[in-house]
Chains A and B, each alone.
Chain A
Amino acid sequence: MNTRQMHIDPYERNWMIFSAVMLVLFAAAVSVAAFGMGIEVPAPEQRVDPRTVATDPNSPWSNPGLREVSPGKYDAYILARAVPQWEFLPKELTIPAGSSVSFYVTSPDVQHGFKIQNTNANFMVIPGQVSKLTIRFDEPGTYDFICTEYCGSGHGIMYGTITVTP
């Protein structure tokens, strides 16, 4: 046998082809979900100074909360913080069913996470960065949003609630 030629067993060759096809299929499925169905991941939105973001009167996070930008469309400015205590501001949001909400979340102190249960909203909250994701709420009910990154002793109690009214 030529020493430069690699010996590949036919079974192994088939297995490698099978593996490659599987991976192409997975990549295709993910691409369709991302570009066809618009299930996207967070993109760079805006950078802020965490030392002033909660106090500067020009910063929307100095007065966090829900703003209706047009009928059925909301911007939610949320501050995730560990100091002086572990909490989301605001802790409670109420919106009518069918609303589309763009969440703008940032932190004035350490890293946090933001995950709205039973939705695709799940992202990191990093001081200096603004995380944005838009979610439509069609089903009435309550949705907890929880902190999903370790942020100190009170991490486990940090959560809030979105109430979707019929």
Chain B
Amino acid sequence: MTQYQVSAGEKKFIGWHLLTAILALAVGSLFGPLQAFEHAGWDFYPYIKPLIKSYYQGLTVHGVLNALVWTTFFIMGFLTFNVIFGLKRPLKNLTLNKVGFWMMVAGVVAAAIPILANEATVLFTFYPPLKANWAFYVGLTLVVVGSWVEGWGLFMTYFDWRKENPNERSPFIAFASILTSLLWQICTLGVAVEILTMLLPWSLGLLETVDPQLARTYFWFTGHPLVYFWLLPAYISWYAMLPKQAGNGKMFSDSLARLSFWIFLVLSTPLGFHHQYVDPGVPPAWKFIHSLLTFGVFFPSMMTAFTVVASLEHAGRKQGGKGALAWILKLNWKDPSVAAQLLAGLLFFFGGIGGLANASYNVNLVLHNTAFVPGHFHLTVATGVTLSFMGISYWLLPYLTGKQLWKPKLAVAQSWIWFIGMIIFSNSMHVLGLLGAPRRVPLGLAPYVPAEWNSRLFQVGLGGAILFVSGALYLTVMLMTALNKETVKEEVQVPIAEAMQDPALTPLWLDRWAPWIYGTLALIVIVYGPQLVEQIANIALTSPGFRVW
């Protein structure tokens, strides 16, 4: 079978994204277990004091590298691949995309220096008036702007394709990748304004004081859609690749897949106040409206659950699977890419349910800032997303390099170990949160920890240890694959699950950008506008900076 040939230069370019992402994951993941071990009473931080000064410095490294750097680099690489391969054409301007990429790399370096020097121990939310070294904010800005530039390169490629193919439906993976990139460009405006109008001038000494409440509002304008920026690339793979890999299945519905992506675009930004339910400076009416919209964005997630499971069932039955559920056993569990993504999807389902609890306005009073929250996002971003990305890399790296995947059975085991470790870790974190344990606290040292938390704290450490083993296995498989002397016999086939129904039959309104973009912007103006105007009009620049770490 012949497939579209991505140029060697573009493969290398995508490979650089993968390499940077995995390096970030490697360093960031060293600290995850240290946090978990500390909870269990095995505090290793005193032993690494010459290098890392505190639990919080480690937590900052973990959050920034794993949640921001690993994800963003992997995603930009994967979206770039999807656009090229989906549209069957090279990037319009590879140099522009390279400029974007190297801006991102420069940004990571700029932010890493103060973080490692303990000059930016502000965690990945960097709430002012905690004041980091200016290089930290410059670094974040470069990462965001670099990702914009890469996105513009993707848009230009798409425009050219559209000009030449005015009547065709856009191929799904390219469509969904462009949409994800667009979502990112819209939502990052919040954090860009936060940094450029307040935090950066403040850290440079040009501004004496900032408004911490307004900063939070800007931050969460970006903060929640950020999770959809993480998630949608995994969804692209679950919708349009995984069914093929799992047993030659097809995508259940092209139209509904597109519709759910459109709903994500429209709804994912105007709901940021659900992270600010207990902020004193936001009126409850707006919090309530955002909570309803948060429920709304759950709807396309439910559609995704249906379509993905139906597509997988199609694959399972094609392989001779029978029964209501027994077809699951016929899926290609021996393929590490399949095993990783199926397990990721399964845990993500529970993460989604937990997320509904967080999103539920006053229910959040019980959960806000408790260990429930990191318990939740380790099911979503650290499993639904991260384990899926690991799964994608199990075919993407051999595809890009032409090297045979090193020990696929070990790679399958890696996914299962992650799955088991995460169940133990995340379950205990959720329970601790319900018992009242706060997040972001070295609970091994906290004076108010009751004895009833101890067994759960031990499980946090145990889960962390198992996850560490899995993470180390993943890195080993990646490294050994990159060094593998054995090459693939023929080029790796990119798994593309065709839609059951000819995409040409998908209604045109699901392939038109303008109305959806106008709708998205209009909803943001309606649901964010009044509060933004009010908070900006009443800005109180009264907080000087603090370095209290």
Alpha-carbon separation in the docked complex, A68 to B363 (Å): 30
Alpha-carbon separation in the docked complex, A159 to B447 (Å): 8
Contacts of B306 in A (CB 8 A): 11-12, 15-16
> Is A3 a contact partner of B505 (Cβ separation < 8 A)?
yes
> Is A126 a contact partner of B445 (Cβ separation < 8 A)?
no
The yes or no answer to A123 lying at the interface (CB within 8 A) is yes
> Is A44 a contact partner of B280 (Cβ separation < 8 A)?
yes
The yes or no answer to A72 lying at the interface (CB within 8 A) is no
Contacts of B216 in A (CB 8 A): 126
> Is B546 a contact partner of A30 (Cβ separation < 8 A)?
no
Alpha-carbon separation in the docked complex, A26 to B292 (Å): 9
The yes or no answer to A43 lying at the interface (CB within 8 A) is yes
| Residue from B211, B298, B299, B362 within 8 A of A30 (CB atoms) | B362
Interface residues in A93-112 (C-beta closer than 8 Å to B): 109-111
Q: Would you give the 0/1 interface string for A1-24, flagging 1 where the beta carbon is closer than 8 Å to chain B?
A: 101111111011001100110110
Given A19-B299, A124-B279, decide whether A150 and B56 contact each other with a Cβ distance below 8 A. yes
Contacts of B211 in A (CB 8 A): 128
Interface residues in A104-148 (C-beta closer than 8 Å to B): 109-111, 113, 115, 117-118, 120-132, 144, 146-148
Given A51-B542, A129-B280, decide whether A156 and B445 contact each other with a Cβ distance below 8 A. yes
Name A157's closest neighbour in chain B (CB-CB).
B447
Q: Would you give the 0/1 interface string for B436-468, flagging 1 where the beta carbon is closer than 8 Å to chain A?
A: 101111110111100000000000000000000
Name B446's closest neighbour in chain A (CB-CB).
A156
Contacts of A120 in B (CB 8 A): 362, 365-366
Given A115-B436, A128-B212, A129-B213, decide whether A152 and B546 contact each other with a Cβ distance below 8 A. yes
> Is A128 a contact partner of B540 (Cβ separation < 8 A)?
yes
Name B438's closest neighbour in chain A (CB-CB).
A148
Query: Considering residues B216, B295, B303, B508, which has the most beta carbons from chain A within 10 angstroms of its beta carbon?
Result: B295
The yes or no answer to B483 lying at the interface (CB within 8 A) is no
Contacts of B548 in A (CB 8 A): 82-83, 109-110, 151-154
Contacts of A144 in B (CB 8 A): 448
Name B548's closest neighbour in chain A (CB-CB).
A152
| Residue from A11, A47, A82 within 8 A of B540 (CB atoms) | A47
Contacts of A122 in B (CB 8 A): 278, 365-366, 368-369
Interface residues in B22-78 (C-beta closer than 8 Å to A): 54, 56
| Residue from B288, B365, B370, B501 within 8 A of A7 (CB atoms) | B501
> Is B255 a contact partner of A6 (Cβ separation < 8 A)?
yes
Given A83-B546, A122-B278, A127-B542, decide whether A4 and B508 contact each other with a Cβ distance below 8 A. yes
> Is A153 a contact partner of B54 (Cβ separation < 8 A)?
yes
Name B209's closest neighbour in chain A (CB-CB).
A51
Alpha-carbon separation in the docked complex, A117 to B370 (Å): 11
Distance in Å: Cβ of B260 to nearest Cβ of chain A: 10
The yes or no answer to B287 lying at the interface (CB within 8 A) is yes
The yes or no answer to B425 lying at the interface (CB within 8 A) is no
Q: A40-B362, A148-B440 are in contact. List 5 more A-B contacts (CB 8 A).
A: A51-B542, A115-B370, A129-B213, A149-B127, A156-B445
